[in-house]
Homo-oligomer: A and B are copies of this chain.
Amino acid sequence: MRFAETDAQGIAHNSNYLVWFEVARVAYLEEHAGGYQRLRDLGIEALVLETHVRYVQPARFDDLLVVHARCVDVKGARFRYEYAIERDDTVIADGWTAHATVDGTTLRPTRVPTWLSDAIASADRPAAARPSS
């Protein structure tokens, strides 16, 4: 947890959780599918359609957080991620995000590439932005 991510309540501002979800999403793609940049190089962008965060306990400056991310429900051009943020093996927040893959130029929906949905299907356990101990 960066100091810049705190607010005047002395805890992490609620908007940062969406950034942390994204960091874990990028790590997930890196681990299972060659990275987000590979998608971008193919001219495919992933738009965010919906986000949901549940804040269970505040995160504080210098907390070491583990963000678990898992891609679920790939269907056509749509996919979803589920997340859990842990501190000392306790979940302090969770949530999910919904996405659509689109052509980077036309922004029209385009199916999730087969190699990516295959990679996701074969990923049988969540990735973490930092390896949990």
Contacts and interface: CB of A to CB of B under 8 A. Distances in A.
Interface string A1-30: 011101111110111101100110010000
Given A47-B58, A54-B49, A62-B26, A4 B9 contact: no
A117 to B, nearest CB: 21
A132 interface: no
A109 to B, nearest CB: 14
A51 interface: yes
A2 B14 contact: no
Nearest 10 CB-CB pairings of A with B: A6-B8, A15-B18, A14-B48, A4-B19, A15-B15, A8-B10, A51-B53, A6-B7, A52-B52, A50-B54
Interface residues of A, number: 35
B2 A23 contact: yes
A22 B47 contact: no
A54 B96 CA distance: 12
A37 interface: yes
Nearest to A37: B62
Which residue among A8, A22, A58, A97 has the maximum number of chain B CB atoms within 10 Å of its CB? A8
A51 B8 contact: no
7 contacts: A4-B19, A6-B7, A8-B61, A14-B22, A15-B22, A50-B54, A51-B53
